[in-house]
Amino acid sequence: MTWTLLAAVTAACIAVGSCALWLPDRTPTLLSSAVEKTVAPASVQEYTGMQQVTVVPTISDDRDLSGNASGMVTADWSGNGLTSGKGAYQVNDRTVVALNTATPLYRDLKTGDIGGDVLALNNELSLLGYNSVPGSDTYWRATSDGWKQLMADNGNTSDGSLSLADTLWIPEHEVAVDEWSATAGSMVTGGTAIGKIPGSLTKLTIKNGTASAQDRTLTIFGITGTLPANTTEITDAGFLQQVEANDSYQSVDVESKKAGLDATLALSERM
């Protein structure tokens, strides 16, 4: 009995000593008193509101180009399109100049004439850098001087009076042409169509879109423009011209364009 009791006491002492060696020398963190945290890690994320959308283009109808000169076409410069103030073609060795006036010219003009067509001519001559009286509806001597110089720059002699046969009205400063018939060697008659202006892109509309209270950016074929606040349409001419000139846009057939084109919409100002 005595030996048994002594063995039990010895075992107990050994156990207590072992426990003392393994126990930590300070209070575990989980059991320590609470400490108030005054700093916490933070991260920043940008919100761009980016989303994939479908845009539907609006394309204007083709338009006829009517010539005013009659005779044999002796030169043709329409291959790269027409530009206001530049020669479009020649008839009987006289240059026909493309002209983008707000009002199409429809008559011969001379000093003293008055009208909306004269106002349009004065304004266009000024934009092209020629002498004129912009804002005036009268064919002044300055208008005559400007027209005479424009004719000279295109190889024509002129006394300053405008002959309608020397002009070809175009609806924009630069236009592409299609179905052009005023080729060198052909006969043309004044008052008849000599070509067409293909329909152009006039608007892009977000299909089933919802207007936003702030401006957004629309990216299509890598070209980015601004979608104004409170609308789902872009009508900015400069942006639309860039899209229309893009090879990827031109490669899409008409039916696919009507169905809609893929684009990306995002907030103009990131949040």
216-244: per-residue pLDDT in tens? 999 999 999 999 999 999 999 899 989 98
132 lies in some domain: yes
**DSSP result, 10-50:** HHHHHHHHHHHHHS-SS--GGGSPP----------------
66-115: per-residue pLDDT in tens? 999 999 999 999 999 999 999 999 999 999 999 999 999 999 999 999 99
Q: Report how far residue 86's alpha carbon sits from residue 98's, in angstroms, rounded to the nearest whole number.
A: 6
Lookup: tokens for 230: 């409170």
Higher pLDDT, 100 or 45: 100
- What is the SS3 string spanning 97-143? EEECCCCCCCCCECCCCECHHHHHHHHHHHHCCCCCCCCCCECCHHH
**Number of domains the chain is built from:** 2
The residue segments making up the domain with residue 94 are 68-191
- Residue-level pLDDT at 261: 96
- Residue-level pLDDT at 241: 87
pLDDT bracket for residue 163 (50, 70, 90): very high
35 lies in some domain: no
37-to-15, 40, 41, 169 alpha-carbon distances in Å: 41, 7, 11, 78
- Residue-level pLDDT at 152: 98
Q: Report how far residue 89's alpha carbon sits from residue 71's, in angstroms, rounded to the nearest whole number.
A: 12
Q: For residues 205 and 147, state if they share a domain.
A: no
231 lies in some domain: yes
DSSP secondary structure code for residue 166 in this structure: G
85 lies in some domain: yes
Q: For residues 86 and 186, state if they share a domain.
A: yes
The rounded Cα 51 to chain-centroid distance in angstroms is: 20
Determine the average pLDDT of the residues in 254-263: 91
19-23, 62-66, 219-223: which has the minimum mean pLDDT? Answer: 19-23
Short-list 60, 66, 86, 83, CA closest to 195: 66
Q: For residues 149 and 216, state if they share a domain.
A: no
79 lies in some domain: yes
Q: Is the pLDDT at 41 greater than 60, yes or no?
A: yes
27 lies in some domain: no
Mean pLDDT of the chain, nearest integer: 88
Q: Report how far residue 235's alpha carbon sits from residue 99's, in angstroms, rounded to the nearest whole number.
A: 24
- Residue-level pLDDT at 54: 95
Q: Is the pLDDT at 4 greater than 90, yes or no?
A: no
26 lies in some domain: no
Q: For residues 222 and 173, state if they share a domain.
A: no
Domain end residue (candidates: 191, 222, 256): 191
3-class DSSP state of 78: coil
Q: Report how far residue 218's alpha carbon sits from residue 242's, in angstroms, rounded to the nearest whole number.
A: 13
Determine the average pLDDT of the residues in 105-128: 98
